[in-house]
Structure 1
Amino acid sequence: MTKPMPGAAGDLAQQHPDLWNAYAALGKACAEAGPLSDREKRLVKLALAIGASSEGAVHSHVRRARSEGLEEEALQQVALLAIGPLGLPRAVAAKTWIEDETT
């Protein structure tokens, strides 16, 4: 872990670094298991967080996406793409969670 994280995940990482390191290693292995670009992986992770209705994960992936140079319009499109499979209310919620970190 290179920098402190906010919230419960950060607490877990500090209290149980061996568990956190194993979790991080699993994430790295999953990320390297296929041909997706870093940009594609970030957008997929954002979409999965939206699908799981995880506000905290959406915030986290938006912050990471912005730090990696992804444009706000791409992140907003992920929320709009959620309308069909997830419904308008969940997509609107996702849009507001994205805007929490971009406006």
Structure 2
Amino acid sequence: MAKRKFGNLILNDALKEFIKENKLQGGMDKVNVREAWANLMGNGVNNYTTAVELRKDILYVSLSSSVLRNELMQGKSKIVTMLNEELGKELVQKIVLR
């Protein structure tokens, strides 16, 4: 059981500490990557996106349009850069489009 800390604590700091102590950062990263994908790609791409999953440092994206998949394959390195900038850390190293 975690120690109790007395005194005032900023909510943001308390949540970060809770995530760290309970080793939840991996799950938070997966959620944050999905949100970043949705924000960066917009409605046009999101309508054809069926699944976004982060495993280790590889982002797996399932698309229902083969034409869109071919278009996105040409700019995979740029997408990786944009996602990492949105996340604020180097989380995605590679994208696999299916």
Question: Could you tell me the TM-score, scaled by structure 2's length?
Answer: 0.32
Larger proportion of helix: 1
Q: Which has the higher contact order (CA 8 A, sep 6+)?
A: 2
Q: From the two aligned structures, give the one with the greater strand fraction.
A: 2
